[in-house]
């Protein structure tokens, strides 16, 4: 005999719970199309074919190398950066004399250069296409100038990019403790370690992140940086002059690039490239460079885009 | 008290309260269509904000394609499905026979064994989809776990590695003391096992959905451009499957990743051990005091959010509004470092539980992993040795019995501070 009364009441309860009006309805929650589901499932459940071509790989072979450089400039007055909200037990250390460092969501250099823009190769390319200049640092541990450091309760590199095969020293040059919360995406590893003042730890992402992700400190919640873990060696973050440089790119093949900025994300509607509308789709564009070519762009962004 | 046949007390439990609350909710008709997994609307909004807004028509197409893909890969709440995964012993993760017991409407099979366990015991808090947004969720603090990120707190593994089977079993058996998460020790072993498989299924399903959303915005499998035909092609099937395999592999590998716990020192929990733990707690290496505060009442850093709330961009009101206006998420709350004087340990009070908590941190809550010495390093390495961690455990376990833990003393202690 089953415990019938209990089952019956439970059934009634669950039926009531299942009533659709109970959950807050989300307007866009589409219904599945049974035919589409059947077709897709058949394909998912099929045994994979013997050798699949690498999806998204480029078909042609490169004919040499080329450089792609440029600068991002802001047209108009960028928004003023308010100081970050420093509070808690370390306030006296982190904001000496009550002076908190400014937010870094939009950083524009004296000459109008837009800093902290990530420009990265988006196409997946075979390892043989990489220029030999990148071979030595492929598995490097990034230390010294290249380390990821924090001082004055701010991250010294606001947008930090590295290769998935590399590892990086995470330093704390403050005398107070930080905890470096690396909220990685994609195949990159998530970590959150206490790093006492004057100490360091090592971050080995182990895989590419696909997109930039947040790095923070939970002891000092105002601290914010971004990391990007790249599959290829072709990435660059603009400096205070707004400059980026990608050297030794494979030429003669179409390459897709991605451009990202903390505030703009992939929204570059107002951007112009050498005077013409950029027309990037969610921050992406494709170009083919010729061997030996030095492509140089001036990218102008309307300051209004940041409001 | 009345008891049912199995000897379980029969009383008005959370399921009943949820049902009554649900009936009282406006717009509740009595026609019950088959429940559906909800699309991860919050992550779609997050990615639009981060990667660029879509046209309204593109939004609709993306959602329709995502829905079709997800149902094809993982089925529905009544009929869960898992594609054949080459090279993975999927039975260990989500055994179809076990999913069948946990999924579906509440019922019993012809031998009287219960079915629909998840909907009976979990869904009103964790939601049909495992999004932590069941009908009672908004009234609970902390909110029930949203499984869809694959992030769990009370586990033996480091970093973001998933919980082991034993970790989930422990949470199910003990519940999470001090929260609404009850103990399910009255269910039998098979029932608990089925529920663990189902939680893993919902988590992996949710992780794959998030990955597909990211890939769509990155253009790797653009669900705005896709059609039913392109999604049925072997290339896109292989892509989706490789993502499922990647997520599932981490759940399989995690079984070997539990942090090994060395035996405690001989003087563990002696007066000297507690005193050593106390000085470490307030010291600069362990840094516990920064968050848990001078009194360990949890009043250090109090303005932080956990990883679930951060995704809603709670510090940017106009962005946050986009999530809340759509009902895509529960109102974010700041996370408080725990008051350590309450004698309530959510992840368990055994020394080993606390050792894991301190060694690995509490994932997604902001509580970091302790700064440990590298293997083989001597006393010249200023970071914590395993024995130091044990003394911290001793101190933490002693705190509830400390004089200050009587509320009146704690208040006067705070008042006396400059």
User: How much is the average pLDDT of A215-225?
Assistant: 96
Q: What angle do CA B171, B172, B174 make, to 5 degrees?
A: 65
| Structure tokens given for B270 | 């002696």
Nearest CA in chain A to B382: A199
The two most distant CA atoms of chain A are separated, in Å, by 83
pTM, whole model, 2 decimals? 0.89
Give dist(CA B402, CA A10) in Å, integer. Answer: 45
One domain, residues A221 and A142: yes
Using an 8 Å CB-CB cutoff, list chain A residues near B71: 32, 37
Predicted pLDDT at B9? 46
Continuous segment of H or E residues that includes residue A168: strand A167-171
Give dist(CA B267, CA B270) in Å, integer. Answer: 5
Q: CB–CB of A283 and B84 under 8 A?
A: no
Partnered with residue A179 across adjacent β-strands are: A194
One domain, residues A37 and A169: no
Closest Cβ–Cβ partner in A28, A87, A214 for B59: A28
| HEC readout, chain B | CCECCCCCECCCCHHHHHHHHHHHCCCCCCCCCCCCCCCCHHHHHHHHHHHCCCCHHHHHHHHHHHHHHHHHHHECCCCECCCCCCCCCHHHHHCHHHHHHHCCCCEECCCCCEECHHHHHCHHHHCCCCCCCCCCHHHCCCCCCCHHHCCCCCCCCCCCCCCCHHHHHHHHHHCCCCCCCCCCCCCCHHHHHHHHHHHHHHHHHHHHHHHHHHHHHHCCCCCCCCCHHHHCCHHHHHHHHHHHHHHHHHHHHHHHCCCCCCCCCCCCCCHHHHHHHHHHHHCCCCCHHHHHCCCCCCCCCCCCECHHHHCCCCCCHHHHHHHHHCCCCCCCCECCCCCCCCCCCCCCCCHHHHHHHHHHCCCCCCCCECCECCCCCCCCCCCECHHHHHHHHHHHHHHHHCHHHCHHHHHHHHHHCC
| pLDDT surpasses 80 at B7 | no
Nearest CA in chain A to B17: A13
Residue A41 lies in a domain: yes
Predicted pLDDT at A89? 86
Nearest CA in chain B to A217: B366
Instruction: Name the residue among B402, B389, B403, B401 with its Cα closest to residue B277.
Output: B389
The gap from C-alpha A15 to its chain's centroid, in whole angstroms, comes to: 44
Q: CB–CB of B303 and A88 under 8 A?
A: yes
| pLDDT surpasses 60 at B10 | no
| Structure tokens given for A59 | 């078909």
Residue A222 lies in a domain: yes
Give dist(CA A121, CA A102) in Å, integer. Answer: 31
| pLDDT surpasses 70 at B26 | no
User: How much is the average pLDDT of A47-73?
Assistant: 77
Give dist(CA B138, CA B329) in Å, integer. Answer: 10
pLDDT grade for B28, boundaries at 50, 70 and 90: very low
Could you tell me the sign of the dihedral formed by the alpha carbons of A260, A264, A269, A275, in that order?
negative
Q: CB–CB of B234 and A49 under 8 A?
A: yes
Q: CB–CB of A22 and B25 under 8 A?
A: yes
Predicted pLDDT at B397? 97
Closest Cβ–Cβ partner in A37, A47, A282 for B72: A37
The CATH number given to whatever domain includes residue A211 is: 2.60.40.420
One domain, residues A20 and A142: no
User: How much is the average pLDDT of B2-13?
Assistant: 46
One domain, residues A41 and A128: no
One domain, residues A263 and A114: yes
Q: CB–CB of A40 and B8 under 8 A?
A: no
One domain, residues A167 and A110: yes
pLDDT grade for A101, boundaries at 50, 70 and 90: very high
One domain, residues A282 and A135: yes
Contacts of A59 by beta carbon, 8 Å cutoff, 6+ apart? none
Partnered with residue A244 across adjacent β-strands are: A70
Residue A92 lies in a domain: yes
Strand A117-121 with A191-195, pairing: unpaired
pLDDT grade for A270, boundaries at 50, 70 and 90: confident
One domain, residues A241 and A180: yes
- Asked whether the beta carbons of A296 and A274 are under 8 A apart, the reply is no
Nearest CA in chain A to B35: A18
- Asked whether the beta carbons of A248 and A134 are under 8 A apart, the reply is yes
Q: What angle do CA B346, B349, B351 make, to 5 degrees?
A: 135
Instruction: Name the residue among B383, B307, B262 with its Cα closest to residue A201.
Output: B383
One domain, residues A137 and A201: yes
Closest Cβ–Cβ partner in A21, A177, A190 for B29: A21
pLDDT grade for B178, boundaries at 50, 70 and 90: very high
| pLDDT surpasses 70 at B188 | yes
For testing contact with chain B, the best of A5, A23, A82 (most B CBs within 10 A): A23
| Structure tokens given for A307 | 């409001």
Predicted pLDDT at B18? 53
Using an 8 Å CB-CB cutoff, list chain B residues near A11: 105-107
pLDDT grade for A5, boundaries at 50, 70 and 90: low
Give dist(CA A271, CA A294) in Å, integer. Answer: 21
The domain containing residue A150 runs over which residues? 64-306
Continuous segment of H or E residues that includes residue A35: helix A34-45
Predicted pLDDT at A307? 82
Task: For each of the domains in chain B, give its residue range(s) and CATH number, in order of start.
Answer: 41-256 (no CATH), 271-302+337-414 (1.10.760.10)
Could you tell me the sign of the dihedral formed by the alpha carbons of B314, B317, B321, B322, in that order?
negative
Q: What value does the CA radius of gyration of chain B take, rounded to a whole number of Å?
A: 23
| Structure tokens given for B311 | 């995704």
Instruction: Name the residue among B257, B277, B258, B251 with its Cα closest to residue B356.
Output: B258
Look at the block and give the residue holding tokens 């080459």: B86
Predicted pLDDT at B32? 66
Q: CB–CB of A44 and B73 under 8 A?
A: yes
Predicted pLDDT at B379? 86
Nearest CA in chain A to B359: A193
% of chain B residues with pLDDT over 90 = 76
Q: CB–CB of B32 and A195 under 8 A?
A: no
Predicted pLDDT at A50? 54
Tally of structural domains, chain A: 2
| pLDDT surpasses 60 at B261 | yes
Predicted pLDDT at A93? 95
Residue A58 lies in a domain: no
End-to-end CA distance of chain B: 54
Using an 8 Å CB-CB cutoff, list chain B residues near A221: 301, 303-305
How many other CB atoms sit within 10 Å of the CB of residue A2?
15
Look at the block and give the residue holding tokens 């030999």: A132
pLDDT grade for A83, boundaries at 50, 70 and 90: very high
Least confident stretch, A62-66, B4-8, B63-67, B178-182: B4-8
Per-residue CA distances from A244 to A106, A108, A135, A235, A293 (Å): 17, 14, 21, 9, 16
Closest Cβ–Cβ partner in B28, B67, B237 for A22: B28
One domain, residues A18 and A133: no
Q: What is the per-residue pLDDT across B53-76, written as a single tens digit (0 to 9) for each?
A: 899 999 999 999 999 999 999 999
Look at the block and give the residue holding tokens 């559906």: B36
How many other CB atoms sit within 10 Å of the CB of residue A161?
18
Instruction: Name the residue among A157, A146, A174 with its Cα closest to residue A90.
Output: A174
Predicted pLDDT at A30? 74
B142 cis-preceded (ω within 30 degrees of 0): yes
Å between B192 CA and nearest CA of chain A: 18
| pLDDT surpasses 70 at B14 | no
Q: CB–CB of A177 and B35 under 8 A?
A: no
Residue, of B22 and A274, whose pLDDT is higher: A274
| Structure tokens given for A154 | 């701010």
Q: CB–CB of A36 and B72 under 8 A?
A: yes
Packed helices B189-218 and B165-174: angle between N→C axes, nearest 10 degrees: 120
Residue A52 lies in a domain: no
| Structure tokens given for A9 | 């009441």
- Asked whether the beta carbons of B213 and A186 are under 8 A apart, the reply is no
Predicted pLDDT at A21? 40
Predicted pLDDT at B6? 44
Q: CB–CB of B72 and A41 under 8 A?
A: yes
Using an 8 Å CB-CB cutoff, list chain A residues near B302: 88
Could you tell me how many residues make up chain B?
418
One domain, residues A184 and A272: yes
| pLDDT surpasses 80 at B238 | yes
Using an 8 Å CB-CB cutoff, list chain B residues near A84: none
Continuous segment of H or E residues that includes residue A72: strand A64-75
Nearest CA in chain A to B39: A29
Give dist(CA B393, CA B262) in Å, integer. Answer: 13
| Structure tokens given for A217 | 């400190």
- Asked whether the beta carbons of B74 and B82 are under 8 A apart, the reply is yes
Q: What is the per-residue pLDDT across B345-372, written as a single tens digit (0 to 9) for each?
A: 999 999 999 999 999 999 999 999 999 9
pLDDT grade for B229, boundaries at 50, 70 and 90: very high
Using an 8 Å CB-CB cutoff, list chain B residues near A23: 38, 133, 135
How many other CB atoms sit within 10 Å of the CB of residue B177?
16
Q: Is A22 exposed, middle or buried (0-12, 13-18, 19+ CB in 10 A)?
A: buried
Predicted pLDDT at B231? 96
Residue, of A113 and B53, whose pLDDT is higher: A113
Residue A20 lies in a domain: yes
Q: What is the per-residue pLDDT across A165-174, written as a single tens digit (0 to 9) for each?
A: 999 999 999 9
Predicted pLDDT at A179? 96
Closest Cβ–Cβ partner in B27, B38, B52 for A267: B52
Q: What is the per-residue pLDDT across B76-126, written as a single tens digit (0 to 9) for each?
A: 999 999 988 888 888 999 999 999 999 999 998 888 888 999 999 999 999
Give dist(CA B360, CA B357) in Å, integer. Answer: 6
pLDDT grade for A19, boundaries at 50, 70 and 90: very low
Q: CB–CB of A45 and B291 under 8 A?
A: no
Continuous segment of H or E residues that includes residue A237: strand A235-237
Using an 8 Å CB-CB cutoff, list chain B residues near A55: 220, 235-236, 238-239
Closest Cβ–Cβ partner in A43, A87, A190 for B233: A43
Q: CB–CB of A192 and B39 under 8 A?
A: no
Predicted pLDDT at B414? 42
Predicted pLDDT at B415? 39
Nearest CA in chain A to B247: A187
Residue, of A178 and B415, whose pLDDT is higher: A178
DSSP A247-262: EEEEESSEEEEEEEET
Using an 8 Å CB-CB cutoff, list chain B residues near A52: 234-235, 238
One domain, residues A34 and A145: no
Predicted pLDDT at A18? 45
Å between A147 CA and nearest CA of chain B: 19
Residue A119 lies in a domain: yes
Instruction: Name the residue among A307, A305, A302, A306 with its Cα closest to residue A73.
Output: A302
Q: CB–CB of A3 and B6 under 8 A?
A: yes
Residue A87 lies in a domain: yes
Å between A19 CA and nearest CA of chain B: 5
Continuous segment of H or E residues that includes residue A68: strand A64-75
Using an 8 Å CB-CB cutoff, list chain B residues near A265: 49-52
């Amino acid at each position: 005999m089953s415990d019938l009364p209990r089952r019956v009441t439970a059934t009634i309860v669950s039926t009531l719970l299942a009533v659709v009006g109970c959950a807050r309805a989300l307007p866009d929650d589409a219904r599945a199309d049974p035919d589409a589901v059947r077709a897709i499932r058949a394909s998912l459940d099929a045994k994979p074919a013997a050798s699949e071509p690498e999806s998204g790989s480029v078909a042609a072979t490169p004919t040499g190398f080329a450089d792609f450089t440029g600068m991002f400039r802001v047209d108009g007055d960028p928004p003023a950066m308010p100081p970050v909200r420093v509070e808690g037990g370390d306030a006296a250390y982190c904001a000496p004399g009550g002076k908190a460092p400014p937010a870094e969501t939009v950083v524009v250099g004296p000459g109008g250069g837009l800093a902290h823009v990530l420009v990265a190769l988006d196409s997946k390319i075979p390892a043989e296409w990489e220029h030999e200049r990148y071979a030595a640092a492929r598995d490097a541990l990034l230390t010294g100038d290249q380390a990821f450091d924090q001082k004055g309760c701010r991250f010294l590199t606001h947008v930090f990019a590295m290769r998935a095969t590399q590892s990086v020293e995470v330093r704390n040059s403050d005398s107070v403790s930080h905890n470096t919360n690396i909220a990685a995406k994609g195949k990159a590893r998530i970590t959150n370690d206490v790093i006492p003042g004057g100490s360091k730890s090592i971050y080995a992402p182990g895989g590419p992140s696909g997109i930039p992700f947040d790095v923070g400190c939970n002891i000092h919640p105002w601290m914010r940086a971004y990391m990007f873990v790249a599959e290829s060696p072709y990435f660059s973050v603009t400096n205070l002059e707004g400059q980026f440089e990608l050297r030794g790119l494979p030429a003669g093949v179409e390459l897709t690039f991605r451009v990202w900025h903390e505030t703009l994300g992939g929204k570059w509607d107002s951007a112009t490239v050498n005077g013409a509308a950029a027309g990037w789709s969610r921050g992406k564009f494709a170009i083919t460079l010729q061997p030996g070519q030095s492509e140089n762009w001036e990218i102008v962004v309307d300051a209004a885009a940041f409001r | 008290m009345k008891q049912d046949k199995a000897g379980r007390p029969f009383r008005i439990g959370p399921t009943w309260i949820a049902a009554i609350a649900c009936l009282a909710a406006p717009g509740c008709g009595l026609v019950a269509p088959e429940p559906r997994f909800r699309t991860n609307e919050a992550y779609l909004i997050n990615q639009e904000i981060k990667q660029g807004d879509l046209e309204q028509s593109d939004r609709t197409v993306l959602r329709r394609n995502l829905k079709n893909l997800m149902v094809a890969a993982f089925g529905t709440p009544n009929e869960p499905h898992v594609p054949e995964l080459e090279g993975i012993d999927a039975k260990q993760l989500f055994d179809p026979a076990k999913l069948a017991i946990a999924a579906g409407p509440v019922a019993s099979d012809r031998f009287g064994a219960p079915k629909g366990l998840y909907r009976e015991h979990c869904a009103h808090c964790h939601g049909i989809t495992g999004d932590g947004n069941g009908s009672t969720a908004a009234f609970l603090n902390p909110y029930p776990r949203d499984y869809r990120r694959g992030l769990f707190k009370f586990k033996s593994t480091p970093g973001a590695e998933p919980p082991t089977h034993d970790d989930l079993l422990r949470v199910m058996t003990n519940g999470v003391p001090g929260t609404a998460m009850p103990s399910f020790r009255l269910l039998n072993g098979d029932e608990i096992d089925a529920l663990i498989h189902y939680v893993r299924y919902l988590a992996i399903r949710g992780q794959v959905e998030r990955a597909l959303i990211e890939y769509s915005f990155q253009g790797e499998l653009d669900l705005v451009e896709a059609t039913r035909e392109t999604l049925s092609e072997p290339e896109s099937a292989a892509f989706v499957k490789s993502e499922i395999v990647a997520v599932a592999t981490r759940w399989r590998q995690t079984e070997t990743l539990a942090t090994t716990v060395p035996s405690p020192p001989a003087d563990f929990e002696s007066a000297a051990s507690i005193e050593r733990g106390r000085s470490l707690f307030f010291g600069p290496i362990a840094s516990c005091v920064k968050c848990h505060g001078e009194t360990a009442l949890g009043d250090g850093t109090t303005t932080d959010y956990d990883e679930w709330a951060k995704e809603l961009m709670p510090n940017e009101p106009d962005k946050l509004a986009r999530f809340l206006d759509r009902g895509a998420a529960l109102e974010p709350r700041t996370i408080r470092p725990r008051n350590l004087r309450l004698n309530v340990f959510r992840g368990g009070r055994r020394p080993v539980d606390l050792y894991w908590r301190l060694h690995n941190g509490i994932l997604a809550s902001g509580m970091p992993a302790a700064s440990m010495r590298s293997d083989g390093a001597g006393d010249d390495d200023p970071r914590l040795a395993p024995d130091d961690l044990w003394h911290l455990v001793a101190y933490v376990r002693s705190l509830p019995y400390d004089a200050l833990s009587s509320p009146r003393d704690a208040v006067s202690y705070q008042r006396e501070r400059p």
